[in-house]
Chains A and B, each alone.
Chain A
Amino acid sequence: MADIVLDKVTKKYPDGTTAVHEIDLEIADGEFIILVGPSGCGKSTTLNMIAGLEDISSGELRIAGERVNDKAPKDRDIAMVFQSYALYPNMTVGENMAFPLKLAKLPKAEIDKKVAEAARVLELTEYLGRKPANLSGGQRQRVAMGRAIVRSPKAFLMDEPLSNLDAKLRVQMRTQVSRLQKQLNTTTVYVTHDQTEAMTLGDRVVVMRGGYIQQVGDPQTLYDNPVNLFVAGFIGSPSMNFLPATVEESVLRTPLGDLPLNDRLRRSLSGADAPRQLIVGIRPEHFEDAALIEEHQRAKGFEFTMPVDLVESMGSDKYVYFTVEGERAVSADLEDLTADAGGADLPPQDNLVTRLSAESRVRDGVDARVWMNLDKIHLFDPGNGHNITLNEGQDAGVATP
């Protein structure tokens, strides 16, 4: 077990692509950390640099306090689980798991004991004699995990280990991975482009984009206080609604109507460089059927009336969709998000998604009166994407290019 420190780590490929730009990251001993971001943002590259499979172009990587930039993968004592599982096809399940131990020249009895133990934990005992080709996807995945855990390495690296499984199995395995990590308490770096996996698994989540870290924090912080439009849109499902807004006298003009400026918003806008054109972000659960709002709440919010497009009743609550007329929020961050089909399921830009209580009576095609919580809205600068409503002094792990 060990902590891992990335100190201004950069990766420049021979063809000139800079895949990772001066990343700073401290991963504590025993921590489960997730690297998440759209395709091509440098997650795998970062992981491979930690593994030693890719050279580090500049910066320093320390594992357990020791600089390991120039160490070969086999001398770093780290195990890795690949998306393709990378099981040795010519070896049985047992031999696959025993392989790293054999290479480490452990005595046979000890190898057998460790393999049997790992197989028991992963419920693979009855498959020990089988070849990987004769296993199901989930079983292969577990063998790959087994091969990693038998060694009791300093850290686990996992590159999208669950993305080849079907949805149901993925959820099951997610729990198992999480439980296993807690049990072993081994530092784990886990790469995914699935924000749900990121939110549910990690102690902390690192959101990456284009080779830069956008924000590091625990899932709740990322959800509640995204530092910029990109993180706001990437984290959460269904994702945050974004609306264009203009600052007028004492209101915020949006396609939903003129939002009154409360103290919090006024303070955010008082900054010298606060722009007049803004993007308002608000999560679906911060809307409510106006009929269900208690009087003392009502003043904190803003109400509007709009025809309902569609109601999806989930039992516990209702997703209600509206169409917003007028112009759309425009920003490079949002374009990045839309371009990334694999990431958050961003709704079409003219769509407003709200999550109302199950008791709500709103119906398709009928005008609904909806309340939105002004305390929860975020204001973003469309130019650089920054969240200007971030509470001061809040440790949100800001790291922007």
Chain B
Amino acid sequence: MSVLSREKAASGAEAAPRAGLSEGKKQERRLGWLLCAPAAFVMVAVTAYPILYSIWLSLQRYDLKFPENREFIGLANYVTVLSNDYWWTAFGVTMLITVISVSVELVLGMGLALIMHRTIIGRGLVRTSALIPYGIVTVVAAFSWRYAWTPGTGYLANLFSPEGAPLTERASALAIIIFAEIWKTTPFMALLLMAGLALVPDDLLKAASMDGASWWQRFTKVMLPVMKPAILVALLFRTLDAFRIFDNIYVLSAGANETSSVSMIAYNNLMKGLNLGIGSTMSVLIFLTVAIIAFIFVKLFGTAAPGSSDDEGRR
């Protein structure tokens, strides 16, 4: 959130005419930069350096198994990766998981948010229990799902497919991965959406019911438009998160049967294959995809951090 608003502030400052600023304004701007400097420095140190370094690595043939063959080869690694079916399968799987899990989470999260927003009795209890899945470490949760789906011993496997081994077939394995992902992060979605619900004034909903709107019309014509900024932020966060899915797949199927995500294969190339060149290329490509997704959300849909916008939607 803070990153987004900072970008916005910075671009706003750029756009303002440099000339003709009064002394006080200049002072103020300098103070602004000074105040941002520590945060900007930390950002650069912890993000810019690794990113630049992996871009540098991605331009080389660099396999730790054959370190003597290290050589600058320009964009050849990118050609290799982008013309490889293995990469595109993983990309497709990642997209599939992202789109399905985020859409389902949006619907379920909205339902959960409405329930949490409306409950009066035992509010704290309802909210706490709804948030439990999000509080559990992903790997731990993933293992519990894995055992549950293990043929013979797992209760879910016995219940739904006593014959087969669901985690070893592509379709069912993907379904289980998506399910685990949804189970885990719906509460987070609900939490973000609940913040959006709080933006909808009660009077507005009352006015809508006086104007003759049914429950569904109130929801779609009044609540959703007013909540739109919050929904977009929630979607952005979750999409970026889901696109980098790793731990659930790692534990549940280990990427077998073409269930790898892009993060999985980048990991395999880097850590298992020790191919720093190809692995870094994949990391850079993931980074670019994530950046493009963020760009689409921010520029095309007008997503902004809640409260940072002077959007006319709020008074």
> Which A residues form the contact surface with B (CB < 8 A)?
14, 51-53, 72-74, 78-80, 82-84, 86, 88-90, 99-100, 103-104, 131-134, 147, 151
Contacts and interface: CB of A to CB of B under 8 A. Distances in A.
B125 interface: no
Given A89-B315, A133-B312, A147 B225 contact: no
16 contacts: A51-B210, A53-B209, A73-B209, A73-B210, A78-B210, A79-B211, A80-B210, A83-B203, A88-B204, A88-B222, A89-B313, A90-B226, A90-B228, A99-B208, A131-B312, A134-B312
B181 to A, nearest CB: 32
B314 A99 contact: no
Which of B120, B206, B313 has most chain A Cβ within 10 Å?
Answer: B206
Contacts, number: 70
Nearest to A90: B225
Interface stretch (B10-18, B87-95, B158-166, B212-220): B212-220
Contacts of B204: 86, 88
Interface of B: 120, 201, 203-204, 206-214, 217, 221-222, 225-226, 228, 312-315
A232 B297 CA distance: 62
Contact of B210 (A74, A84, A133): A74
A89 B312 contact: yes
Contacts of B212: 74, 100, 103-104
A96 to B, nearest CB: 9
Nearest to B200: A89
Nearest to A157: B210
Main secondary structure of the interface of B (DSSP, over half): helix
B203 A86 contact: yes
Contacts of A132: 315
The 4 closest A-B pairs by CB, nearest first: A86-B207, A90-B225, A133-B312, A100-B211
A100 B217 CA distance: 11
Given A74-B213, A89-B226, A103-B217, A80 B313 contact: no
Contacts of A74: 209-214
A74 B213 CA distance: 7
Contacts of A151: 211
A86 B203 CA distance: 6
Nearest to B213: A103
A132 B210 CA distance: 19
A4 to B, nearest CB: 15
A90 B223 CA distance: 10
Contact of A80 (B206, B222, B225): B206
Contacts of A103: 211-213, 217
Nearest to A79: B210
B196 to A, nearest CB: 14
Contact of A89 (B120, B211, B214, B314): B314
Given A90-B226, A100-B212, 11 more contacts: A51-B210, A53-B206, A80-B210, A82-B203, A86-B206, A88-B204, A89-B313, A90-B228, A100-B211, A133-B313, A134-B312
Nearest to B211: A100
Contacts of B222: 88
B312 A82 contact: no
A52 to B, nearest CB: 8
Nearest to A131: B312
Contacts of A53: 206, 209-210
Contacts of A52: 209
Given A90-B226, A133-B312, A134-B312, A84 B201 contact: yes
Nearest to A14: B120
B201 A86 contact: yes
Contacts of A73: 206, 209-210
A89 B222 CA distance: 9
A383 B225 CA distance: 56
A51 B212 CA distance: 12
A369 B211 CA distance: 61
Given A86-B203, A89-B226, A90-B226, A72 B217 contact: no
A72 B209 CA distance: 8
A82 B315 contact: no
Contacts of B209: 52-53, 72-74
B207 to A, nearest CB: 4
A82 B206 contact: yes
A80 B211 CA distance: 8
Contacts of A86: 201, 203-204, 206-207
Contact of A84 (B120, B203, B208, B226): B203
A90 B313 CA distance: 6
Nearest to B222: A88
A264 to B, nearest CB: 49
A88 B225 CA distance: 9
A157 to B, nearest CB: 8
Contacts of A14: 120
A109 to B, nearest CB: 20
